[in-house]
Amino acid sequence: MAAHGKFVFRVFAGNFVRNATFLKPHTASATLQTTTIGRRQFSTSNTGQTEFDVVIVGGGIVGLAAARELILRHPQLKFAVLEKEKELASHQSGHNSGVIHSGIYYTPGSLKARLCVEGLDLAYKYCDDNNIPYKKTGKLIVAVEQEEVPRLEKLYERGQQNGVRGLRIIGADEIREMEPHCRGVKALDSPNTGIVDWGEVAKSYGRNFQQSGGQVFTQFEVTDFKTTKESQGNSAEGLKYPVTIVGQNNQTVRARYVLACGGLYSDRLAEKSGCSSVPKIVGFRGDYLLLKPEKCHLVKGNIYPVPNPAFPFLGVHFTPRMDGSMWLGPNAVFAFKREGYKLTDFNLRDTVDALGFKGLRKLVYKHWQFGVGELWRGFNMAAQVKQLQRYVPELRVQDVTRGPSGVRAQALDEEGQLVDDFVFDGGVGELGSRMLHVRNAPSPAATSSLAIAKMIADEVQNKFEL
């Protein structure tokens, strides 16, 4: 059934070539859903259109930012976004800390660093232009013990190299002035860090996209990509849209090209068009605690630990939210269900898929103690509060309640290395040459979303003949 070829698996750190499979041609018919974004109703049935120049799979912040950028650059072309949920931004983009990161942590010269610093400015401007509320709360990265200070100073240097504005190291007295209930020997003050509701930002990108003529189809879960060789209905246009994108309920749309931004399912979408299963996505759930309203005076802005360089996660932090609440966390535990937000959520396929993957087993072997600790803290609120008391000693277990959770899409290679930067994948051959997969868009991809969108739009222009 399949032909074999080669595709380029492109990590920004380097290039690899692997074997791939390309799928057989197929045709089908269409029935599509109407979409609501926020309070507005956008109908797709007014055009009945099911053929597009570029279809974007995934209505998270990355897919929507890319869709918006593409339609702004190519207003003469037809674009659509396909999202499997009822609402846009239902997963990572709507379940995160809501921080506008300033770009301190990332390796100088990496895409992550460049895109975050650029993305922060673009995000503030976008929010100003589109009346999206945000707060420049600032952030302190706090060294509680003297032994953490050299790592803090390294972070300061990194931030400087990355072009982060306004950074300075402050001492214990100034920490007390800024955060009276926080203790620390030194801290890195990042005044440009802010907070925003990234889910709202993503939906706003979706509205911009639709106002520019783009179409959004929700409840369209893509299950397959196929190429069509025969002309549809004997029309000359028939071959113009050779990729058929099939949905779970047998809906179909046709496209010249496809951009996939599937977040926690980006590896499975890539496999569907013949790409390698690696990098594999493994879900890491992060649970937040909520500070009770009467205790919110304990923290003013963002308070973060000095991160452990062995892990990609920033460590549990104190994060003010736009609604005035205060989130504490998140931890990082293996998720037995991708897109599963409850402690007990379990999906057999996701679990077998992850545990059967050599890369995850190697990671667990290396870091099992950290993993067990995180799991324990996930179940035991007192243990999680103990971590937070390092920074705010007055905090008590009775001051917090369980809060929401998010699941991070962590890309892993076969050696158990966490893939840290953005990854594009695509291919050659009939189907692969018409697909571009964003396989890894890790935190801070929400902050960086408008900068990532520019990079993706450049890549789309390079790869496809638009």
The binding site for ligand FAD (CB under 6 A) comprises: 57-63, 82-85, 90-93, 95-99, 101, 221-222, 261-265, 269, 286, 330, 406-408, 441-447
Report the run of H or E that residue 329 belongs to, with start and end: strand 326-329
Read off the amino acid at residue 290.
L
DSSP 8-state secondary structure symbol assigned to residue 66: H
Nearer to ligand FAD, 112 or 158 (CB): 112
Nearer to ligand FAD, 10 or 186 (CB): 10
Nearer to ligand FAD, 265 or 357 (CB): 265
Nearer to ligand FAD, 20 or 332 (CB): 332
C-alpha closest to that of 192 among 418, 450, 447, 464: 447
Which pair of structure tokens corresponds to residue 14? 């380097």
Largest CA distance in the chain: 78
Shortest gap between Cβ of 258 and ligand FAD (angstroms)?
A: 11
Are 53 and 466 in contact by the 8 Å Cβ rule? The answer is yes
Strands (E), 103-185: 134-135, 139-143, 168-171
* Residue number, nearest CB to ligand FAD: 60
Shortest gap between Cβ of 238 and ligand FAD (angstroms)?
A: 25
Are 212 and 204 in contact by the 8 Å Cβ rule? The answer is no
Shortest gap between Cβ of 332 and ligand FAD (angstroms)?
A: 8
Nearer to ligand FAD, 119 or 429 (CB): 119
Shortest gap between Cβ of 177 and ligand FAD (angstroms)?
A: 25
Shortest gap between Cβ of 24 and ligand FAD (angstroms)?
A: 19
Are 68 and 271 in contact by the 8 Å Cβ rule? The answer is no
Nearer to ligand FAD, 186 or 374 (CB): 374
Distance separating alpha carbons of residues 117 and 196, to the nearest angstrom: 16
CA distances from residue 133 to 94, 195, 210, 328, 449 in whole angstroms, order as listed: 16, 9, 21, 21, 17
Question: What does R_g of the chain's alpha carbons equal in angstroms?
Answer: 23
C-alpha closest to that of 189 among 300, 76, 302, 52: 302
Nearer to ligand FAD, 93 or 162 (CB): 93
Are 435 and 363 in contact by the 8 Å Cβ rule? The answer is no
Shortest gap between Cβ of 100 and ligand FAD (angstroms)?
A: 7
Shortest gap between Cβ of 54 and ligand FAD (angstroms)?
A: 15
